[in-house]
Amino acid sequence: MDPNAGPEFWQKVLAEGHPPLRFMHKLFRYLPGPPRCKVCHNPFGGIGGKLVGLFGFTPSRKNPNVCVVCCEKLPPGGAEADIAVLFADVRGSTAMGEKLTPSVYAEVLNRFYRAATEVLIRHDAIIDKLIGDEVMALFIPGICGPQYHSRAVEAASALLQEVGYGRPEGPWLALGGAVNSGMTYVGNVGSEGVVDFTALGDTVNTASRLASSAAAGEILLSETVYVKVAERFPNLEARTLALRGKEAAMNARVLAAA
């Protein structure tokens, strides 16, 4: 791959897709062995990790959350693209941490990470961050197709179900989140020493603020997202929110757990 590839290359990857990356997404979801590369989902652990490691799919020295193929072999830089961004975080994690021993608290969060990873991989997301009590995922048209808004909302709904919302016994973890969409800078960002595939811009910041405003069992959808999924999720409650750091109030729709 051309190391000097510029924005034109990235715009094509983000909008139309990159055949090897799409192939890897379809293949690696069936191979066990977390943790995984956050871009192509190749496993680093277990039998799956040993198998693909023979072909060079090992953790990058620049970022152990990304494999060598997706980090060193994708050129630095990026481009602006319309994508959907999902944030979900645990409610009451501080209080939970005070009640549980550190080991038990870590077990609960690791269970959340595993559940979130499985759900997001099934929906062709790029898992940007699994940190603390929060997950951030990107839904890029070149990877998950033109229905990327729907894929993001479906993934958010599936996350609520995965932690137990809608079950008779109730959720084992209090979770809330949000999905926003818009033009975002996406690509391999950083210096030569540390490179990370990520997304930057107001779309990401707004998604994070929206997620913080969601109650447990709720996914807040920005209007840019809801207009794309209204037929699938009609008549959702409208809510006007004053988000921290935003001058104007923002309208959102509430996708509540069943």
* Inter-axis angle of helices 102-122 and 148-162, nearest 10: 140
- The verdict on residue 50 lying in a domain is yes
Q: Output the pLDDT for position 2.
A: 47
Asked if residue 92 and residue 148 are part of one domain, the reply reads yes
Asked if residue 148 and residue 25 are part of one domain, the reply reads no
Query: Which domain range does residue 244 map to?
Result: 77-256
DSSP state of 236: P
Asked if residue 146 and residue 236 are part of one domain, the reply reads yes
Q: Output the pLDDT for position 5.
A: 60
Q: What is the pLDDT along the chain (258 residues), one digit of tens a residue?
A: 444 567 788 888 888 887 778 788 888 888 888 888 888 888 898 888 888 888 888 988 767 788 888 877 777 788 999 999 999 999 988 899 999 999 999 999 999 999 998 899 889 898 898 888 999 999 999 988 999 999 999 999 999 999 999 999 999 999 999 999 999 999 888 876 677 889 999 999 999 999 999 999 999 999 999 999 999 999 999 999 988 878 788 999 999 987
Asked if residue 214 and residue 97 are part of one domain, the reply reads yes
Q: Which of 53, 71, 89 is the last residue of a domain?
A: 71
Which CATH number covers residue 201? 3.30.70.1230
Q: Which of 42, 71, 100 is the last residue of a domain?
A: 71
Q: Considering the entire predicted model, what is its pTM? A: 0.88
- The verdict on residue 1 lying in a domain is no
Q: Output the pLDDT for position 204.
A: 96
Distance CA 55, CA 58 (A): 8
Q: Output the pLDDT for position 1.
A: 46
Phi, psi of 160 (to 5 degrees): -60, -45
Asked if residue 243 and residue 175 are part of one domain, the reply reads yes
Q: Output the pLDDT for position 82.
A: 96
Q: Residue 42: which residues within 8 A CB-CB, separation 6 or more? A: 24, 28, 31, 36, 48, 49, 52, 57, 67, 69
Asked if residue 190 and residue 100 are part of one domain, the reply reads yes
- The verdict on residue 229 lying in a domain is yes
